[in-house]
């Protein structure tokens, strides 16, 4: 089992989605963010190599949760996973993710 760390950028990404969802349903915004983080942390910590590699040179993997992509990289000889970004998959159409 690996330790999962959530970067500031990933937390900011999640806050943006929560704010958007909260415009319609505050309770759902909270429950969804908990659901997304719980699922991501559980899968990544238990099966860190299960998710496909998104960017091989940078060692970035992608976990898909509903319509969201969670990008992470393993470090510390695979003992730690750093969640780098959380992005809505609709935003990625015809776009290359840069700067991870």
Mean pLDDT by 10 residues, the chain (100 residues): 96 93 93 96 97 94 95 94 92 54
Q: Cite the beta strand spans of 19-78 per DSSP E.
A: 53-55, 60-65, 68-75
Domain ranges, ordered by start, for the chain = 3-99
Structurally, at CATH architecture level, domain 3-99 sits in 2-Layer Sandwich (3.30)
Closest CA to 62 of 34, 84, 95, 46: 84
> 39-70: buried (b, 16+ CB within 10 Å) or exposed (e) per residue?
ebbebbeeebeebeebeeeeebbbbebeebbb
Alpha-carbon torsion angle 15, 34, 63, 87, nearest 10: -20
pTM for the full predicted model? 0.87
> Residue 32: in which H helix or E strand, if any?
helix 26-46
pLDDT of residue 84: 97
């Amino acid at each position: 089992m690996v330790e999962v760390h959530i970067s500031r950028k990933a937390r900011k990404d999640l806050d943006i989605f929560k704010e958007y969802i909260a415009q319609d349903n505050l309770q759902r915004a909270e429950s969804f963010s908990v659901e997304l983080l719980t699922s991501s942390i559980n899968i990544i910590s238990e099966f860190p190599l299960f998710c496909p590699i998104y960017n091989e040179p940078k060692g970035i993997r992608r976990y898909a949760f509903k319509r969201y992509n969670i990008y992470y990289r393993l470090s510390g000889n695979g003992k730690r996973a750093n969640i780098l970004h959380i992005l809505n998959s609709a935003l990625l159409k015809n776009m290359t993710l840069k700067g991870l």
